[in-house]
Amino acid sequence: MKEVYLDYSATTPVKKEVAEEMSQYILGHYGNPSSLYKIGSASKEAVDIARAKVAKLINAAPEEIYFTSCGTEADNWAFFGVADAKRKKGNHIITSNIEHHAIIHTGNYMSKRGYDITYVEPDKEGRISPESVEKAITDKTVLISIMMVNNEIGTIEPIKEIAKIAKEHGITSHTDAVQALGNVPIDVKDLGVDLMSLSAHKIYGPKGVGALYIKKGTLISNYMHGGGQEKKKRAGTENLAGIVGFGKAAEIAYDNLEDHIKKVSGLRDYFLKRVTEEIPDVQVNGSMEYRHPGNASVTFKYIEGEAILLLLNEKNIYVSTGSACSSASLVPSHVLMAIGVPAELIHGTIRFTVGDFTTKEDIDYTVDCLKEVVAKLRNISSVDGKKGW
Amino acid sequence: MAMYNDKVMDHFMHPRNVGEIENPDGLGKYGSPVCGDMMQITIKVDDNDVISDAKFQTFGCGSAIASSSVATEMIIGKTVDEALELTNKQIINELGGLPDVKIHCSVLADHAIKSAIYDYAQKNGKTYKGLEGFDPDADEDDHHDVADE
C-alpha cells in the first residue's frame, strides 16, 4: 500500500547525500576531534566544515555556532545560561505561551526556583505582537525568547522587531528557530537576535544533533560542564557523524531554499484548497500570511483527532494531532487554546506538514482518504451541524 | 498502531450498532465535546424487560468508539437488571484491555448505558436496584486523568 508521510514538522527523513556523508564518519573516520594526532585533526576539520555550513544557512560566522545534542538542549542552554550570566541584573524572562515544550517546561521549572517568567499571549492568528513583549519588560528582565516559527500552526513571528526592542532595553534576545530553519530565510545579522536554537532532524539531517547560535559578545554561562570542546563552551565529545550530517543537510537546505519553499507551499496550498472545498465544516488555524510553507493545521468539526489519525494510519498516512510531542497526552494543545480555538474544535484538529519528498499524488491520495475517514467518523459521531454540540 | 490491541482496533474500525433508534424506549447521553468525548446510547426494551436493541453515536477517540461499540454488544439480549450489572471493568476486559490514559472511555460507555436505562425507568415508572443512587448528570470525576509526556 502507498505510504504518505505528512509530519515533516515532527521530523524529516534523512536525505541520501546526508546519510552517505555521515557513513564515512561512522564506518571510517573515528578519531576524537580533540585528539592532536592526524586522525583527530581530520575529525576536527570535518566538524569545522560542518560548522561553516550551518553558519552559512543563517548568515552567522562559523565561530558563532555551538553544536549541542538537540534543539531542546540549545533552548535549555539559552535559558539557564543567560539567567545565570545575568543573575545580578535580574530574574525575569519573557517568552510566549505558544512556545515548544522545550521552552515552556524550562520556564515552568525555573519559575519554581526563584525566576519570574512572563508568558506573552498571541493574537487569534498566532502572532506575538512586539508591543505586548515590550509591555512585559521590567528592570529585572534578562532574556526575551520568542520562537521564530510555531510548530503546531506554523505562524512566523516578528523576531526582528522583538530583537530590536530587546536590544533597546539591553536585554538578551533568543529565538527557537527549530521549525524555521530551512523553511524560511534566516539572516541572524538582519534579525539582530543574540541567541538562536537549531536542530538537524527537521532539515533532513540526523536526530540527536542541534546547535545554539551565540552572537559574538553575548553573555551566557555554560550549561554542559566537562571537557573543553566547542571552545570550552559546550562540553562533551562531539557527535561527529551527526554534526557532519547536520552540515550536509544545512548545505542542501541553503542551496535549495527557494525551490523548497516554492514547492512545499504549492503542495500545501493545493492540499488546503482541496480540503476546504471538498470537506464541509473544516477550519484552518493560524495566519495564512505569516506561515511555515509546509504547515496546514486543520480542524474537522464534530469528530475527534486521534480517531482521524488512527484511520489515516490504517491507510499508511502519517499525520499528527496538535504537535507530535503531545499526541500521547489528553491535554488539549496549548497553542490552539492560546489562539482561542474552542476545546471541542481543538480535539478535532490535525497538523499536516508537507516536505521535500511529498508529491501531488500523495496529496490527492490523502485528501481522498480524508474525505472517506471524516465521513465515516461523522456518521458515528453524536454531534453534527444540525444537532450542534 | 501499537497503542490499541486488535480487538479494540476491530471495534473502532468496524463499530457495531452505530446509529440512533427511532422512538427509543430509553436515551442516555454522557460526556462533553469540550472534554473530547460524548456518547449517546439509545435502547429498545421488550415486554419481558429485555434490551432488544441498542445503538450508539460517539464523538471521541478510537477507544471511546470501541468502548461504545462493545458495550452495546454486551447489553443486547440482556434483561435491564442484567445490563445494570455491567461495569466499566467488564467493558475493558471484553476489549482485552485499554491503555491507562483511556480507561475513562469505558467509564463513559458504562455511564451512558445506565443513563439510557435511567431514562427508560423514568418514562415507565420503573425502579431497579441497579439504579439506586445513580445520577445521570454526575460529574465525570474519572475523566480528567492526564498522561505524562
pLDDT tens column, A258-276 = 999 999 999 999 999 999 9
- Residue B114: enclosing H or E segment and its boundaries? helix B103-124
What are the chain B neighbours of A311 within 8 Å (beta carbons)? 13
- pLDDT bucket at B149, cuts 50 / 70 / 90: very low
For residue A299, the SS3 value is strand
CATH of A16-253, one of 1.10.1740.10, 3.40.640.10, 3.90.550.10, 3.40.190.10: 3.40.640.10
What are the chain A neighbours of B147 within 8 Å (beta carbons)? 328-331
Residues in chain B: 149
Residue B148, pLDDT > 50, answer no
Which is the catalytic residue, given A26, A325, A337, A345? A325
Bigger pLDDT: A114 vs B101: A114
pLDDT digits (tens, 9 = 90+) for A94-124: 999 999 999 999 999 999 999 999 999 999 9
What are the chain B neighbours of A384 within 8 Å (beta carbons)? none
Span A181-190, average pLDDT: 98
B interface with A, Cβ–Cβ below 8 Å: 1, 3-4, 9, 12-13, 15, 18, 29, 33-40, 56-62, 64-65, 101, 145-149
Mean pLDDT of chain A: 96
Number of domains in chain B: 1
Lookup: cell for B10: 476491530
Residue A387, pLDDT > 80, answer no
pLDDT digits (tens, 9 = 90+) for A64-80: 999 999 999 999 999 99
Q: What percent of chain B shows pLDDT beyond 70?
A: 91
Residue A299, pLDDT > 90, answer yes
- Residue position matching grid coordinates 460529574: B139
Span B84-101, average pLDDT: 95
Neighbours of A113 (CB within 10 A): 8
The domains of chain A are located at: 4-11+257-380, 16-253
For residue A192, the SS3 value is coil
What are the chain A neighbours of B37 within 8 Å (beta carbons)? 304
Residue B146, pLDDT > 50, answer no
Q: How far apart are CA B100 and CA A234, in angstroms?
A: 40
Q: What is the pTM of this model?
A: 0.93
| pLDDT for B145 | 39
CA distance B50 to chain A (A): 25
Mean pLDDT of chain B: 91
Span A33-50, average pLDDT: 97
Residue A326, pLDDT > 70, answer no
In a domain, residue B61? The reply is yes
In a domain, residue B1? The reply is no
| pLDDT for A325 | 40
In a domain, residue B145? The reply is no
In a domain, residue B76? The reply is yes
Range of the domain at B84: 6-127
The angle subtended at Cα A111 by Cα A108 and Cα A113, nearest 5°, is 120
**Per DSSP, which regions of A138-280 are E strands?**
141-145, 172-176, 195-199, 210-214
The angle subtended at Cα A193 by Cα A189 and Cα A196, nearest 5°, is 105
Lookup: cell for A347: 480535539
Lookup: cell for A194: 543574540
Span A231-239, average pLDDT: 98
Residue B24, pLDDT > 80, answer yes
- pLDDT bucket at B147, cuts 50 / 70 / 90: very low
Lookup: cell for A168: 533597546
Beta bridge partners of A116: A92
Catalytic residues of B: 35, 105
Span A370-375, average pLDDT: 98
Q: Do domains A4-11+257-380 and A16-253 have the same CATH topology?
A: no
CA distance A367 to chain B (A): 19
Span A364-382, average pLDDT: 97
Q: What are phi and psi of A134, to 5 degrees?
A: -60, -40
| pLDDT for A332 | 83
Cβ distance A332 to B36 less than 8 Å, yes or no, reads yes
Residue B38, pLDDT > 90, answer yes
What fold characterizes domain A4-11+257-380? Aspartate Aminotransferase, domain 1 (3.90.1150)
Residue A150, pLDDT > 60, answer yes
- pLDDT bucket at A311, cuts 50 / 70 / 90: very high
CB B51 within 8 A of CB B35: no
Residue A246, pLDDT > 90, answer yes
CATH number of the CATH domain containing B83 = 3.90.1010.10
**Which residues 229-248 of chain A have a CB within 8 Å of chain B?**
none
pLDDT digits (tens, 9 = 90+) for A42-63: 999 999 999 999 999 999 999 9
Lookup: cell for A111: 519559575
Nearest to A307 among B40, B62, B145 (CB): B62
Lookup: cell for A285: 488555524
In a domain, residue B69? The reply is yes
Nearest to A304 among B13, B37, B57 (CB): B37
- pLDDT bucket at A322, cuts 50 / 70 / 90: low
- pLDDT bucket at B140, cuts 50 / 70 / 90: low
Q: What percent of chain A shows pLDDT beyond 70?
A: 98
Residue among A321, A346, A337 at smallest CA distance from A97: A337
